[in-house]
A = this chain, B = another copy of it.
Amino acid sequence: MKNHKKLNEMKLKLTLFFILTVFTIKAQFVDFHRDSVMLRNIYTQALTEGKAYNWLHHICYNVGARLSGSYGEKKMIAYTQEELEKLGLKVNLQSVMVPHWVRGLPEYAYIETAKDKTINVPILALGGSVATPATGIKASVVEFKSLQDLENADINQVVGKIVFLNGALPNAMINTFDAYGACGSQRYSGARIAVDKGAVAVIVRSLSHKVDDHPHTGVMSYENLPKSRQIPAAAISTQGADLLSSLLSLNPNLQFYFKQNCRTLADVPSSNVIAEIKGSTYPDEIIAFGAHLDSWDVGHGAHDDGAGVAQSMEVIRIFNHLNYKPKRTIRIVLFANEENGARGGLKYAEESKKRNENHIFALESDAGGFAPRGFAFSGEAKKIAKVKSWGKLFEPYYIHLFEKGYPGTDINPLKNDRTLLAGLTPDSQRYFDHHHCQTDVFEAVNKRELELGAATMASMIYLIDQYGLD
């Protein structure tokens, strides 16, 4: 009897197991079908009626470059507010003080190989650098292949000279962001280290794989160095760097002259541009996504980060157009001052913490408007695994990367135990050809690639809105 009962219990369990399995499979199938239709609609919207490319065109040609504190930045805030309002959103401008560094008159530089024999080379002051004296700086040059080499150098080698940091992005790295990371410190900390060795200025090889005549600027820092000890720092084009290096090998006593006219003014007020669609079921669970409003002051800031801004607005437009009502709160955040201070991201995280907000997910597009390949995640392994389990839905769109990685500067301050952070990961090969340089223009962005990125963002936001991350 006992055994018989057990057998019956087992049969019952097996039957239940079978029923549950079938139901689960069916439920998954139904969702997969519904979700794949939704993703198809999202991509079709982006590719056939997308506005991202038009927005980007306006940002590039009517707003233009928009470094923090500039007139362009003000225009960008006004423009994105206006366009978000046109999408039916109520926009909140979140105040934040930002640095105000200005380039002034264009830089000028030459290599002097002998008396009255000079060759001009293209340079750009690094963001945050001080100017040279009004008459410029002329000195002999000491070259290092890395910041490490400078750190290890004997002070007598360096004192009174211009330090030339000529580390090239390592070509063998497949992901160019890794290559950038591998020698970014020569730009950021070069001046700080050079001061301790008695250098009078720093010239840094542009952080680009491309050998051409376009110098790439970017932020540098003196850390806590008093004003009186700060020395000017500039980027030289990669071609200029190769030329300087070979001329130095022929004549170690050549002189380098440059003049730059930049300065740091007092901090100015700016704003993060924020808008949201309240969630119907879980309004307290926030899904934030965005990009940064500012750019460097050369080129259009098309890939960095006009593309991200246009894509983020497009996410809202697509949801509107498809009449999608999110369960969770969907919030667009366009950040002030990513480039030279990251104040927008810090401010947003700080205010959000004060209000005890619960971000379940934050997504940033700040790696260029190239063909999207997936996402880089930062957060709990099981949340990443959950997202990865949706990979099949993305296969028709060639989206295949769902890996751990750095999500982006603007959302990084939101890091905590609960929130999953993600960066959209486009193909990286061409990014540093244009980054922080006058070639980062509208024409360097492909319409379809930009649109595919926006659709990929919207698809991920849709899935997280549907299923949450717990």
Contacts and interface: CB of A to CB of B under 8 A. Distances in A.
Given A209-B448, A398-B401, A400-B400, A172 B429 contact: no
Task: Name the interface size band of chain A.
Answer: 20 to 34
A242 interface: no
Contact of A48 (B47, B172, B175, B433): B172
A395 to B, nearest CB: 9
Interface in A368-417: 371, 373, 396-398, 400-401
24 contacts: A47-B171, A47-B172, A47-B174, A48-B171, A48-B172, A171-B448, A174-B397, A174-B452, A175-B398, A209-B447, A209-B448, A210-B447, A371-B429, A398-B401, A398-B427, A400-B400, A427-B427, A429-B446, A429-B448, A429-B449, A429-B452, A430-B446, A430-B449, A433-B446
A398 to B, nearest CB: 6
A41 to B, nearest CB: 10
A65 to B, nearest CB: 24
Interface string A412-432: 000000000000000101100
Interface string A144-183: 0000000000000000000000000001101110000000
Interface core residue of A48, A174, A446 (most chain B CB under 10 Å) = A174
Given A47-B171, A427-B427, A429-B452, 4 more contacts: A43-B174, A174-B452, A209-B447, A429-B446
A371 B447 CA distance: 17
A447 B433 CA distance: 11
A118 interface: no
A113 interface: no
A189 interface: no
A253 interface: no
A44 interface: yes
A397 B173 CA distance: 9
Contacts of A171: 47-48, 448
A433 B443 CA distance: 12
Nearest to A403: B395
A156 to B, nearest CB: 34
A322 to B, nearest CB: 14
Nearest to A176: B448
Interface string A36-51: 0000000110011000
Contacts of A44: 172
A172 B449 CA distance: 12
Interface in A31-63: 43-44, 47-48
Nearest to A172: B44
Contacts of A48: 171-172
Nearest to A41: B172
Interface string A264-286: 00000000000000000000000
Contacts of A373: 398
Contact of A172 (B43, B371, B430): B43
A43 B174 CA distance: 8
Contact of A371 (B210, B401, B427): B427
B174 A396 contact: yes
A14 to B, nearest CB: 28
Contacts of A47: 171-172, 174
A458 to B, nearest CB: 15
Contacts of A174: 43, 47, 396-398, 452
Nearest to A175: B398
Contacts of A210: 447
Contacts of A396: 174
Contacts of A452: 174, 429
Nearest to A211: B447
A373 to B, nearest CB: 6
Contacts of A398: 174-175, 373, 401, 427
Interface string A188-218: 0000000000000000000001100000000
